[in-house]
Structure 1
Amino acid sequence: MSDYYKGLYGSHKKEQKSPFAALLDAVMFVITVVVAVLFVVSLFVPVINPHSAGVLSTLGLIAPFIYVAMFVLTLYWILRWSWVAVPMILLSVISLFSLSLFYRPELKRHYDIKYPRGTIKVMTYNTRSFISDSGERCLDSIAELIDEVRPDIICFQEMGFSGLVDSMLQPMRYKPLPKSLSRKDLSPALYSRHPIIAAYRIDTMKNFVWADVVVNKDTIRVFNNHLHTTAIRQEDEDYIENHQYLAEEDNVDKLGGMVSRLSKNNKRRSVQADTIASIMAQSPYPIIVCGDFNDIPISYTYRRMSRSADDAFRKVGRGYSSTYRGFFDMLRIDYVMLSEEFTPLGYDVINSWIWTDRVVREDTIRVRKYGENLTPRLDEGEAGPYAVDYSDHYPVLVHFSINR
């Protein structure tokens, strides 16, 4: 009898892992340690000036991949019923505080937003001189888009053909910046359907302008910025997107060169961001900050630029947002930020998917306007008459109201 109870309630040896399971756990543990270290280090990227740790400042580029890896590894260790799951769960909880930089849950399938009367719209877009991927001028395509969404304020970067754009937008009642702020060398441009009472090109930096715009009785200072390039070339994008690093032998040299250029230009943008942030903080009016920052949300540049204004995506964005047409459409580097005097109401990246989705939701209106043949094209998943020849960026459109 004693042997029976001993066998039933006595201590048992822990079930031995198979050699394969033990090896898999060992490999996954090493990967987990690496990912956890990268995650912890990435938490400090926004607060460390790139001049102090240039290479570290490039880590933010892979932050979305780190977050996904954290989630997968946490699930793995939970399923393995391992103690490693405990610290991974803690790190995953910490990561939730930064998740809204990249992703905001979509709680509904369709968002039929009814904006209140008096809603203001601002759009930012890096035009690449209005040159499409095929090398052709795409002014007409962008003009149709603008005519449809009718933003109150437009901020263009890499502006080209300024005279043509002035003429194109004039029938839509858009006013350009004063001619004294001569636009050259692809400098930013700003257009408004409301009066512009003052404007200034910041210091001698051709890539930064602000304008005071009167909307009804309120004066708003709008900053249009184009921060220093990342210096990532097309061949670099092809190298990453086409997985050429799997076949080439000089991977260390190529990746090292890319990291070196990124680090160098992060330092340049940090100086620009510090300068612009100090100017924004001195504004006597509520501010709107638009532009191509050439940097992602986990960066020193983003933290400095968002100190005086809130990122509209973090307030009202949906899903995963990317504004750059490259690197697997993973990068959000174009922003609209609003100071506390404004309430953001809607955020859209106007890419082909969003545009088609808008047409589907408003099908009866579009059919009356463009004809019955529109519906079959929508059923096939095409954008129909809303196809847009984009630059290497997508336009960002934000709806907001002024707090009274």
Structure 2
Amino acid sequence: MKFKTSFFTRLYQLFLGYTLLIYALVYFAFSGHWLVGFLMISLPIVLLIHLGFCLFWLFFKPRNALLPVVGLLLSFPFWPRTFGWHSAPEPSENEISVMSYNVMSFDVGGYLNQKELSNARNLIAWTRSKEVDIKCLQEFYNNSKSEYFNTLNQFKAVNHPYHASLYGSPNQNEHNYFGLVILSKYPIVKSKSQVFDNQNGMVYADIKIEKDTIRVINVHLRSMIVRFGGIKEAYKGKDYQQGKSETRKVLGKLKRGFIHHEKEVEQLMEWINQSPHPVMVCGDFNETPYNYAYGQVRKRLSNAFEEAGRGFGFSYKNAPKFIRIDNQFFDSKKFESLDFQTFSEVKYSDHYPIVGRYKLL
């Protein structure tokens, strides 16, 4: 047992060095290189390994358990990104509410492939009826000639007469498009949109709220389209060659995603830094709170989940499920975050809607 304890002690010391590297990369977010992206995304696994070492030594050499406890305590800067324990205050004056929701094209694919409308109707109805002042929707779909998917007119009819859109391709227009939209009950005085290379993009709207003007940016970073079902089925069927192939596909998609995100975040930060108005950023980041995109925006803006969220705030319904990739950031000099909710009971899309309440300062 002396040999095993010594081996695990040396192994842990090496791992602790790796841990400090991960902590530094996540905290400072100084590089968006794809290799750094893989290191950053490992942080939750790193914490679980520390917990495993801690339990192991509690049984075999309790004195050594102090080391992994220290390793876990050093992760305290990332606790607010992981778990929220705030309570919601009562509604106040001079307050606005903002929703961000990846609406999965209102499940038009389910209608076209299976002629199934129930989920699409529920998704449109819930998104339309949710009473908030500003709605930032990703993967928005509108077809003005469709009986069911003339969504823009449906939203205009329920107290959101103003909108700013991003069309996913040059041949799309307001009458038939897939992209992003900002819907507002307050007047939009200026807007601009930008498509990223290959897919997705961002749109901003300068919104006039009484005497104030704020800039709301709706962003959808590149989708990595990672599917873990193939890996699970391959290894479940003991087809290890297929499992390796599926694993390589997933890693390749993550690598390409990290590369694109570095460029996209650079463009997003330009919009934030050049804004003449207080900024709020909402959207689908397709990254965890420990990755480069989140870290870069967090240097400039506060995160609503960290300031007012509760629980883990997981926002993606499909595998790997236990991740938070949808966010709202805000300028803390102009806004006070009062409440932040993730509606995990709303399962019509592959994302859950998130809603923040803010007081204008």
TM-score (norm 1): 0.75
Task: Give 1:347's match in structure 2, choosing from 331, 340, 345.
Answer: 340
Equivalent residue for 2:103? 127
Equivalent residue for 1:367? none
Which secondary structure does the structure 2 equivalent of 1:397 belong to? strand
Task: Give 1:50's match in structure 2, choosing from 10, 18, 32.
Answer: 32
**Are residue 237 (structure 1) and residue 219 (structure 2) matched?**
no
Give structure 1 stretches of 5+ with no counterpart.
Answer: 1-16, 353-387
Residue-by-residue CA offset, 1:108-143 (whole Å, 9 max, x unaligned): xxx564221332110011111011895545443234
Structure 2 counterparts to residues 332-343 of structure 1, below 5 A: 332-340=324-332, 341-343=334-336
**Contact 2:192 2:205 (C-alpha < 8 Å) held by counterparts:** yes
Paired with 1:325 and 1:230, the residues of 2 have a C-alpha distance of 15
| Counterparts in 2 of 1:55 and 1:178: CA distance versus 1, 3 Å | closer
Number of aligned residues: 339
Residue identity matched to 2:47? Y
Paired with 1:229 and 1:204, the residues of 2 have a C-alpha distance of 11
- Report how far residue 318 of structure 1 moved: 1.1
**Are residue 66 (structure 1) and residue 53 (structure 2) matched?**
no
Higher strand share: 2
**Are residue 173 (structure 1) and residue 159 (structure 2) matched?**
yes
**Contact 1:105 1:318 (C-alpha < 8 Å) held by counterparts:** yes
Equivalent residue for 2:216? 222
Which secondary structure does the structure 1 equivalent of 2:140 belong to? coil
| Counterparts in 2 of 1:73 and 1:115: CA distance versus 1, 3 Å | farther
**Contact 1:120 1:400 (C-alpha < 8 Å) held by counterparts:** yes
Residue identity matched to 2:159? R
Paired with 2:36 and 2:166, the residues of 1 have a C-alpha distance of 41
Residue-by-residue CA offset, 1:233-277 (whole Å, 9 max, x unaligned): xxx321456683683312444323322221122011111101111
- Report how far residue 79 of structure 1 moved: 4.7
**Contact 1:132 1:390 (C-alpha < 8 Å) held by counterparts:** no
Task: Give 2:73's match in structure 1, choosing from 71, 90, 93.
Answer: 93
Paired with 1:397 and 1:330, the residues of 2 have a C-alpha distance of 19
**Are residue 397 (structure 1) and residue 355 (structure 2) matched?**
yes
Structure 2 counterparts to residues 17-32 of structure 1, below 5 A: 17=1, 23=4, 25=5, 29=9, 32=12
| Counterparts in 2 of 1:239 and 1:55: CA distance versus 1, 3 Å | farther
Residue identity matched to 2:100? T
**Contact 1:45 1:57 (C-alpha < 8 Å) held by counterparts:** no
- Report how far residue 185 of structure 1 moved: 5.6
Paired with 2:166 and 2:304, the residues of 1 have a C-alpha distance of 31
Paired with 1:204 and 1:297, the residues of 2 have a C-alpha distance of 21
Which deviates more from structure 2 when the two are superposed, residues 304-313 or residues 56-65? 56-65
Residue-by-residue CA offset, 1:31-80 (whole Å, 9 max, x unaligned): 745754553332244424233xx233123334323223323422432454
| Counterparts in 2 of 1:34 and 1:157: CA distance versus 1, 3 Å | farther
Residue-by-residue CA offset, 1:135-166 (whole Å, 9 max, x unaligned): 54544323442455311000111111254112
Residue identity matched to 2:54? T
| Pairwise CA RMSD | 3.0
**Contact 2:166 2:194 (C-alpha < 8 Å) held by counterparts:** no
Residue identity matched to 1:127? V
Paired with 2:79 and 2:233, the residues of 1 have a C-alpha distance of 28
Give structure 2 stretches of 5+ with no counterpart.
Answer: 145-149, 168-172
| Counterparts in 2 of 1:252 and 1:204: CA distance versus 1, 3 Å | closer
**Contact 2:104 2:349 (C-alpha < 8 Å) held by counterparts:** yes
- Report how far residue 180 of structure 1 moved: 9.8
Equivalent residue for 1:309? 301
**Are residue 157 (structure 1) and residue 117 (structure 2) matched?**
no
Percent same amino acid at aligned positions? 20
Residue-by-residue CA offset, 1:192-235 (whole Å, 9 max, x unaligned): 01111111113777621100011222111000001111131xxx
**Are residue 249 (structure 1) and residue 253 (structure 2) matched?**
no
| Counterparts in 2 of 1:264 and 1:271: CA distance versus 1, 3 Å | same
Task: Give 1:201's match in structure 2, choosing from 163, 187, 193.
Answer: 193
Paired with 2:329 and 2:127, the residues of 1 have a C-alpha distance of 20
**Contact 1:127 1:391 (C-alpha < 8 Å) held by counterparts:** yes
**Contact 2:95 2:357 (C-alpha < 8 Å) held by counterparts:** yes
Paired with 1:242 and 1:280, the residues of 2 have a C-alpha distance of 43
